Structure 1
Amino acid sequence: MAGAPSLSQPSGWRAWLLSPEPGSRWQARLGRFYLGWRSFTRNPLAVMGLGVVVLLILVAIFADFIAPYSPVIGGDLRTQRLLPPSETYWFGTDDQARDIFSRVIYGSRITLWVIVLVALIATPIGLLVGTVAGYLGGWVDTVLMRITDIFLAFPRLILALAFVAALGPGIENAVIAIAITSWPPYARIARAETLTIRNSDFIAAVKLQGASTPRIILGHVVPLCLSSLIVRVTLDMAGIILTAAGLGFLGLGAQPPMPEWGAMVATGRNYLIDQWWVAAMPGLAIFVVSLGFNLLGDGLRDVLDPKAAK
């Protein structure tokens, strides 16, 4: 009997987290998080996607310690140029005798930087446009949604190319162009969610209490739209990576000698027959990271989408 408390400790914590009558908001939030995490871990592919994303973040943070060579300074062009993968150069070397493994490692920083900036710029724009259009309706909804339709009428890469051509090549302009072309789908989702909740009883109760329209939108409508938007943003990460890589491939994104994966693939296309590793290694990095975000997005959709709950 003396050992009973320690043996029942895990179940006790679970009982506390899953209590039908939580004693505080903090307990209720922890309980919801625990249920979501348990549901998430039942999907092995989603866990694998989360592992890929976490690995990307860790590699980007500790690139200085992981990469054995400089990503921009090459070796001897006479003896170290276009060497195949080996114990010395794990991914081989490129046409400037630079270690491809080191460039892929440092390229993860650029990729992660692009993803974070695009998400921080595009998500609030789409969320604000969608919630305002859905809540106010009328001519405001018509104008905002027609503007959204104009952006959706063009393929994302083509529209991004047009903006980069106007702004000029460079990684900063590429981020701006990708963000400008990424917000319309978020606006559509936020509007659809807002239309389903704007006539709810709790919204009517908030109005009776004298809450202003901006307070209702920002304090009550926006939080309810976040779960669906998080899923869509996560699923869009792969498209953002591919768009950034496409701009880099065309010479409109990151400029040499920055180790951007798309630009590295563009360099390696001249050596596909004999020195395949120059393009294959950064291409493999793009594939793995894009797949990881897709798998993570699928897992988050199963957890956060209330319509998918069984």
Structure 2
Amino acid sequence: MTATAPSTPPAPAATADHGLIAWLDSAAPASRWQAACGQMWWRWRLLVANRLALLGLVIVLGLLAVALLAPWLAPHPPLAGDLSLRLQPPSSTYWLGTDDQGRDILSRLIAGSRTTLYVVAVAAVLSAPLGVLIGAVSGYAGGWLDAVLMRLTDIFLAFPRLILALAFVAALGPGLDNAVIAIAITAWPPYARLARAESLALRRSDFIAASRLLGASHTRLVLGHVLPLCLPSVLIRVTLDMAGMILAAAGLGFLGLGAQPPLPEWGAMIAAGRQFLLGAWWVAAAPGAAIFIVSLGFNLLGDGLRDALDPRAQQRG
């Protein structure tokens, strides 16, 4: 009998994490799902490799965490005041001091993060889909419909956003919900312009022509093909636009047209503290710093997303 060669011992099993990363990094994906997951993993690594973008992501996630946990994070009731404690400087009891009503500024900042997040989230949800739909239809249809929709967009773009928002709030009346509506009405034109540019480049592409020959309707082409391809650019624009929405909301609150007292809102807090800038600078400085940090975080994250989602970026190998 001939001796058989000993069988090769099996390789040690890879850990779950290593196996998942190898699956994501595969150069020859076995399915569309694996290819899509691998592409998202590669984009995520590009994003976190950018330190400034990672800092922006940390700031934005911090805002979300503070807004969600505001009732438990606030050391004092944000609406309760004590005139005997008015304009107290920062101390171990009141970390950021108190305002002219004796209310803890840190607690009001934490509670005001919910107001800020509500304004930008609802305004983005209302304005971005509207602008993208108008721009996609305009770019895909062309002709007189494109001309009418773009001239309407030009009318809105002709006015500064804050001035136009002031006009809408003056017509609707002061209040948080009306401020959100005004910001959303003035924020959609850039999304329409962006979606129109993407649609103009896509409507003459080969896959659109092939889908049309297969009997796809115009509605299906716009909703199923054009709009999904506009989403990366729109996502970047929304992230970058959040800072402008925060400043617009703060501007309306500063003028008394946004959130009404005693609801804590960062712009209104700055307005209340402007008369104490020389003797109690912390009353206006704390909400001003919060607006600056959060706006910076959204801008840094938007720049990082622009680099990570850029279709002209070098493809992974």
TM-score normalized with structure 2 length: 0.94
Secondary structure of 1:306's match?
coil
Residue 306 (structure 1) shift: 1.2
* In 2, Cα distance between equivalents of 1:183 and 1:255: 25
Larger Rg belongs to? 2
Whole-Å Cα distance in 2 between the matches of residues 3 and 297 of structure 1?
Answer: 47
2:264 to 251, 259, 272: 259
Please state if 1:48 is matched with 2:55: yes
Q: Secondary structure at the match of 2:219?
A: helix
Does the Cα contact within 8 Å between 1:193 and 1:225 map onto a contact in 2? yes
Partner of 2:206: 201
- Normalising by structure 1, we get a TM-score of 0.96
- Measured at CA, do residues 165 and 11 of structure 1 come closer, stay the same or move farther in structure 2, by a change above 3 Å? same
| Aligned counterpart, 1:60 | 67
CA distance in 1, matches of 2:103, 2:77: 8
Tell me the number of residue pairs that the alignment of Structure 1 and Structure 2 aligns: 308
Kindly indicate whether residue 227 of structure 2 is the aligned counterpart of residue 222 of structure 1. yes
Give 1:8 deviation, angstroms. Answer: 7.0
For residues 38 and 208 of structure 1, what CA distance do their matches in structure 2 show? 39
**Matching of residue 107 in structure 1 with residue 112 in structure 2:** yes
| Distance in 2 between residues matched to 1:67 and 1:27, nearest whole Å | 44
1:304 alignment partner AA: L
Aligned to 2:80: 73
Moved over 6 A (4+): 1-4
Shift in Å at residue 305 of structure 1? 1.6
Q: What's the RMSD between the two structures over aligned residues?
A: 1.6
For the 8 Å contact 1:133–1:141, the answer to whether it is kept is yes
Q: Which residue of 2 aligns with 1:235?
A: 240
CA shift, 1:18, in A, is 2.1
Structure 2: gaps spanning 5 or more residues: 1-7
- Work out whether 1:129 is the aligned partner of 2:134: yes
Is the 1:302–1:309 contact (alpha carbons within 8 Å) kept by the matching residues of 2?
no
Instruction: Select which of 91, 95, 98 maps to 2:96.
Output: 91
1:303 touches 1:309 (CA, 8 Å); kept in 2? no
Structure 1 segments unaligned to the other structure (5+ residues): none
Supply the AA of the counterpart residue of 1:216: L
Q: Is the 8 A contact 1:265 1:283 kept in 2?
A: yes
Aligned residue among 253, 262, 284 for 1:279: 284
| Percentage of identical aligned residues | 64
